[in-house]
Structure formats: structure tokens, C-alpha cells
Amino acid sequence: MRVVVCVKHVPDIQQPRSLRSDGLLVRGGDDDTLNELDEDAVEAGLRTAEAAGFPAEGHDVTVLTVGPSAAVESLRRGLAMGASTAVHVHDDAVAGSDAIATARVLAAAVAKLHAEQPVDVLVAGMAALDGLTSLVPAALAELLGWPQLTLADRIEVADGVVSVRRETSTDVEELTAPTPAVLSVTDQAFRARFPNFKGIMAARKKPVTTWTLADLDLAESAVGPAGSATRVVHAVERPERPDRVLVTGDAETVPALVDYLSQKGFA
């Protein structure tokens, strides 16, 4: 079985984050890290492959990212967790791509991997904690022409069919589709394993393939600002709210709070 997991290197959300004057997120800080929700995707990918016999001859779990040179750290993390190979699409022209343009780059990389050795399942996280758009998995499915099974919390692959369980806001669904399929997973069911020392050492020896746009036959005009149909035209740090109230006390503070709620129309 071949599983590919898309991961993203993002600024640490516990640290202050900011936007550049052109509205793009400031990246490349020392604290940048593997998007937390992609750890669940790596875990789901590993478990799905392990159920088929990974790690063994003929099975593969590839972690794939597109991003600046530092993004290799997120690939190393995926390798330390147990992935067997890694692919880093690194090309300065990609900087400033919106989510759909980013998906275009990832899809081209997946198509190249698929041509080399067929992919059964492509797994992504439910969102990247920097942009929080959740657009990429569905865009990948459309670009690749593969069925989408998103927000899965259970995955089974057998005889060329993927079965997932998922919860929507209103229903619990069980869906199936033929492989290859695009999956995304929630953060509920695939609590990520912690890389052990052996895994971390092994990750240093595992191969990381680097591709540019040329390797993917993608024109520069298809990515970056030129290939994006959206553009940030204005970005400003939100000012402090001026009229905030902070009081200290117990039950005696309640009438004033209820007055406040009443002014706002809630009481």
C-alpha cells in the first residue's frame, strides 16, 4: 500500500504571529513547526498503512510538503514518527500562493508520485492552523480527479475500497469510495504517536527528495500571486477595544454585569 500525507510547516500558534505589509503571514521563525493537525494526518496515514503490513517491502508512507527550506523540519518530524520517505516541493516562486494555488502544487507532486508508484490513499489534516481555510483537501480531490472522503475519524482500506466514518454537523456518515482517494482526518481519532529516539535517529538517514516547479512541469504563472485568484489588499492589527471593563469580586459584582448585559439587549 502507498499512502501520501500532506503536511504544512506553520508558525507556532503559541507565539505572537503577524502579517507583512503585503498581507502575507510572516514565516520562517525559529519556532515554526509541523501544523499540529497534520500530526493526526501522519498518524492516520501510518495506521492505515500498518493495517496493510507497513513497514515492509512494497509498502510506503510518504510525507509531502510545499514550503520554504525550513519546512524540511516538518518532514523530518513525519519521518521520525515512522514515514518512510519525504518529498519537499521548494521553489521561491511558490511563495504567496493562496490555498487553491498551493493545492495545485501539491496535486502536481502527488500526480508525479502516483506515476512513479500508484498511491492508494492521500491523507491531509482538517485545517492548517495558520490560514484555517480547510480548502486544500477538497481542492486536491478535484485537481486529481479522486473521490474525497473528508473529516474521517475511522479509516479502512480493503480490496481497493476505502471506507470511512465521519461526523458532519448533523449526521454520522459511513462512506466508501474506490482507491485512490483523498482523505482528511479530524483531530479526534488519531492521537499522534510521539517519535522515540530510534525514530528520530532513523529519520536522519531517510531520504528527502526536493522538487522545484520545473520537476512538476508547473509554470511559475500557475502559482504564487500570479496563480492565485485572491489577493490580500489590506491588513491591519486590530486595536485594543477601548471600553473594556475588568472588576474583581464575587457575587456583589453580578448586578453591574447584568446591567451591562441588559444594555446590550441580552437580559
Partner 1 sequence: MSEQENRAAGRVAVLVDHLDGAVRPTALELLTLARGLGLEVHAVWVGYSAPSAELAAHGADAVHEVAVDGADAQLTASVVDALQTVLPAIGDVGLLLVPSTFEGREVAARLAVRTGAGVVTGASGVAFEDGRWTAHKSVLAGAWDTACAVTGPLAVVAVAPHAVQAVAQDGAAEPSVVRHTAEASAAARAVTVVSRTRRPTSERPPLAEAEVVVVGGRGVEGDFSGVEELADVLGGAVGATRVATDEGWIGHEAQVGQTGVTISPRLYVGLGVSGAVHHKGGMAASATVVAVNSDPDAPIFEFADYGIVGDLTEVLPALTAELRRRRG
Decide: is 262 part of the binding site for partner 1 (CB under 8 A): yes
- Smallest gap from Cβ 179 to partner 1, in A, equals 10
- Smallest gap from Cβ 171 to partner 1, in A, equals 5
Q: Which is nearer to partner 1, 115 or 245 (CB)?
A: 245
Q: Which is nearer to partner 1, 100 or 111 (CB)?
A: 100
CB of 206 within 8 A of CB of 56? no
Report the site for partner 1 in 129-158 (rule: CB under 8 A): 129, 131-139, 141-143, 145, 147-151
Report the site for partner 1 in 40-69 (rule: CB under 8 A): none
> What is the gyration radius of the CA atoms in the chain, in angstroms?
21
Q: Interface with partner 1 by CB under 8 A: which range of 2-10, 68-76, 212-220, 236-244?
A: 236-244
Taking phi over 0 as left and psi of -120 to 50 as alpha, with beta for the rest, 265 belongs to left
Determine the distance from the C-alpha atom of residue 37 to the mean position of all C-alpha atoms in its chain, rounded to a whole number: 6
**Which residue do the cell numbers 523540519 mark?**
73
Q: Which is nearer to partner 1, 188 or 196 (CB)?
A: 188
Report the site for partner 1 in 73-112 (rule: CB under 8 A): 98-100, 103
Q: What is d(CA 201, CA 110) in angstroms, rounded to the nearest whole number?
A: 27
Decide: is 266 part of the binding site for partner 1 (CB under 8 A): yes
- Smallest gap from Cβ 144 to partner 1, in A, equals 10
Q: Which is nearer to partner 1, 158 or 254 (CB)?
A: 254
CA dihedral of 103, 104, 106, 107, whole degrees rounded to 10: 110
Q: Which is nearer to partner 1, 170 or 221 (CB)?
A: 170
Cell triple for 87: 518529498
The SS3 assignment for 49 reads: helix
Main-chain dihedrals φ then ψ at residue 24, nearest 5 degrees: -85, 150
Q: Which of 193, 196, 206, 205 is nearest to 45 (CA)?
A: 193
Main-chain dihedrals φ then ψ at residue 226, nearest 5 degrees: -65, -35
Q: Interface with partner 1 by CB under 8 A: which range of 73-81, 87-95, 173-181, 207-215?
A: 173-181
Q: Which is nearer to partner 1, 115 or 236 (CB)?
A: 236
Q: Which is nearer to partner 1, 85 or 97 (CB)?
A: 97
Q: Which of 12, 4, 265, 249 is nearest to 120 (CA)?
A: 4
**How many C-alpha atoms does 89 have within 13 Å on its Cβ side?**
29
Q: Which is nearer to partner 1, 18 or 57 (CB)?
A: 18
Residue 17 CB burial class (10 angstroms; 0-12, 13-18, ≥19): middle
**Which residue do the cell numbers 513497514 mark?**
55
Decide: is 117 part of the binding site for partner 1 (CB under 8 A): no
Q: Interface with partner 1 by CB under 8 A: which range of 63-71, 166-174, 197-205, 208-216?
A: 166-174
Decide: is 21 part of the binding site for partner 1 (CB under 8 A): no
Q: Interface with partner 1 by CB under 8 A: which range of 41-49, 67-75, 205-213, 230-238?
A: 230-238
Decide: is 209 part of the binding site for partner 1 (CB under 8 A): no
